[in-house]
Every structure is written in structure tokens, then in C-alpha cells.
Copies of this chain bind each other. A is one copy, B any other.
Amino acid sequence: MRELRETALAVKKASAVLALLDTEKKNKALFAIADALTDHTEEILSENALDVAAGRENGMSDSLLDRLALSESRIEGMAEGVRQLAALPDPIGETVEEFTRPNGLRIRKVRVPLGVIGMIYEARPNVTVDTAAIAFKTGNGILLRGSANALRSNMALAKVMRDALRAEGIPEDVIAVVEDTAHKSVDELVRMNDCVDVLIPRGGAGLIRRVMETASVPVLETGVGNCHIFVDESAKYDMAERIVVNAKTQRPSVCNAMETLLVHSVWATGNLAKLLAKLHTLGVTVHGDKTVQDMDPLAIPAVDEDWDKEYLAPELAVKVVDNLDAAMAHIAAHGTKHTEVILTEDAENAAFFLRGVDAAAVYHNASSRFTDGFEFGFGAEMGISTQKLHARGPLGLREMTSYKYIVLGSGQIRG
């Protein structure tokens, strides 16, 4: 087993070479990686089968096993994702801004890679390929610290990618798996400021909190979404039902699913019973406040914790509020600054909500489920940021870059 520090130093060294590669060479290598994934499907599947068998033996849940298990089509999906990345524009080297100072200095602000990304994530092995490919395209080295349960799969995927890079004459250490999956390897990784430029934790709330609390390396916080939809007095019933159903049931396990529904009291009177009945037919459990309980015999009384809970399941907290201000106050108190939605036909209320609510993405008359790199047209994403520093919302290619100022002089000195 390669020691973490040795691995990190190797990635740092290799990333300096990668940072200067031109777009054409990077894209060629991405195609080579994609082909290699397809060509080595069998080896990858046989290593993955060992992880799955061990997981089953250790009592891993069916849903986790499903996330862990690869198949020919899942591997082909990864390869296709890598090919799509190759086709996206390369942000590195882009001039963001350019200006000349009165003293004649010409200053150019140019996008550069971040350096080395430390990716800390849970079971799904597809994250290994997705994030390695995004990092590669943006000239960043990546240290992949997945979970012990997926180590064989991650090592197999990384080996295929590394072999493909070596064949292209690129230092394979730009992509490296942290082989030590003891908990303390995370603690060491998050304080390795001399080797790692940014950490991206992706997984459950506990993992993310732990990284935030122990890291000295800058962190891009991702993921926790206690997202609200507020149905205003003037919302149209049909649109509200369509959007609420979509936001709660289309894929309840993800961070941009709705977790709390806030309803204007006037709208609730005529419409809420019908809406909740519809949600019940779709298998949604409702935790409601007093007013909701009066309207919906199936509603479970909501307790304080419900307003802060990310169910990630067909479960929903529902509250009736007196007005827009009350809805916004509830969101300010309980939201996680991920995605917040207002459904209304009143343009003034919409504008007030969109301006006043503090979140990465605020919506008028659309489902919360669109906060996503692909849906935003970024082509790929590393995760969804819920912090304010550096990047908010979907983390695409550009969000994996920093910049530097290139200053061109002709002998200027400071007076």
C-alpha cells in the first residue's frame, strides 16, 4: 500500500505538468480513458463483484448495494460521460478580464487550475470516474478518497484511467486513489495544506460536517438541501400540483428534492386537501402543522425537528403560513441555502422572494429539481455547493478553476 503522503506528493508533482497541457492533448487523453474503460469492462466488473460480495456479507443495505454495483451499461455510461467532457470547452487559459493601468501596466486575469483536488466520497464508484475526468479536463490533479467498501472498484477504475494516461505520455499520478481507508487517513488528508488545494466532500451530512470541522485545507461544502416550495395565494392549482409532485417524488433521494412545502393560508383553503390527497396516492407521507392536520386525516403531526429534516425519501413536511413574509422567515430559519422555490402569479411577490431569499438557486414557477450541473447546461458536475465562498450551486468545469493576474510591464516601479 502506498502511504497517503507519498501519494499526495506524487499527485502534486504530476499536477504541475498537467496544468500546462494544452486542450487538444487533454481531450485526446480523455477519449483514451473512455475507450480504456470500455475495453477493460471485464476486469472492472470482476473487482466490483468482490466489493459487492463483501458488502453483502457485511450486511450492506440493498439500496447501498445497488449504488455500489457496476454493470456493463453503467461502465459504458461512465465512458460516455468522459467523451462528453472532452467535447466541452476548456476553461483553462481563458482570459476573464483585461485592463491597462494609467502607468501602462497591462493586467490580464487568466483562468488556471486549482492544483490538487481532494475528493472525499461514499460508496458510488461512478464518482471516481466522473470527478477524475472533470479534474483532468480542468488541469487539476485529484486524490480520490472513496469508502473502504468500494476500494477494489475504485482501484480498478483508477488503474484503467492511469494506464491510459501513461500510454498517452501523461504522468499517471494526476489521478490517484488513497489506498488507506482507515478513518485517520481522512483526518490526515484534510490537513495536508502543502499538497492539497481544495477538498470536496460528497456524501451524507455526517461526512460533510466532519470534513468541515477538521479541515485546514479550504473546503467546498456540498450537498445538504432542505429545499422549500412556497405556494403563494395566486398560484395556479395545476402548475402547483405538477411542480410539487415532481419536486417530491421524481427522485426523493437527492439534495434538490423538496423537503418542506409552505402554503399560503388562502390558497390552502380551496386547494391543499386535494394536493395532499394526490401526494398520498403517490405514497408520500405528510408531516403537517395543526391546519394541515385539520384538512388531511392522513397527516402525521409535525414536530419541531421536521422543519429541519432532509428526509431524502417520499416524506414531506407541510406548513400553512399567513403570507409571503412568514414563508420567507421560515426559509431563513430552516433553509440550507441550496434551492428555494416560489409558485405565484404575482410578479411583485416573485421578485421580492427571488431577491430576498438567500440560497444558491431561487426559482419562480419551476421544480427545485433543476439545480444540477447538467440541467444548468454545465455538462458535468463535481457536486452542488451550499457555501458562499468560491462557488455556489452546481460545480461544473469553471468552478474547478482559480485565476492568476499576468502583468506586463516596461520597467514600471512604484512611486
Q: How far is the CA of A197 from the CA of B387 in the complex (A)?
A: 8
A76-114 residues at the B interface, CB under 8 angstroms: 99, 101, 105, 107, 112, 114
> CB < 8 Å: which of B354, B361, B405 contacts A393?
B405
A404 smallest CB distance to B (angstroms): 6
Verify if A68 is at the interface (C-beta below 8 Å from B).
no
Q: Which one, B246, B387, B403, B414, contacts A375 given CB within 8 A?
A: B414
Contact segment of A24-32, A154-162, A364-372? A364-372
Q: Given B213, B239, B361, B369, which contacts A404 in the complex, CB threshold below 8 Å?
A: B361
Residues of B within 8 A of A404 (CB): 358-362, 392-393
A243 at the interface (CB under 8 A from B): yes
Chain B CB within 8 A of A205 CB = no
- By a CB distance below 8 angstroms, the chain B residues around A375 are 101, 414
Give this chain's copy count: 2
- Give the CA-CA distance A407 to B393 in the complex, in Å: 12
Chain B residue nearest to A218 (CB atoms) is B389
- Is A218 touching B216 in the complex (CB atoms < 8 A)? no
- Which residue of the partner chain, among B101, B403, B408, contacts A392 with CB atoms under 8 Å? B403
**Known contacts A242-B411, A370-B412; is A388 also within 8 Å of B198 by CB?**
yes
Interface set of A (CB-CB < 8 Å, partner B) = 16, 19-20, 99, 101, 105, 107, 112, 114-115, 191, 193, 197-198, 212-213, 215-216, 218-220, 239, 242-243, 245-247, 250, 332, 354-356, 358-367, 369-371, 375-377, 387-390, 392-393, 402-414
Q: List 8 A-B contacts (CB under 8 A).
A: A20-B355, A114-B388, A191-B213, A247-B413, A364-B408, A366-B410, A367-B413, A392-B404
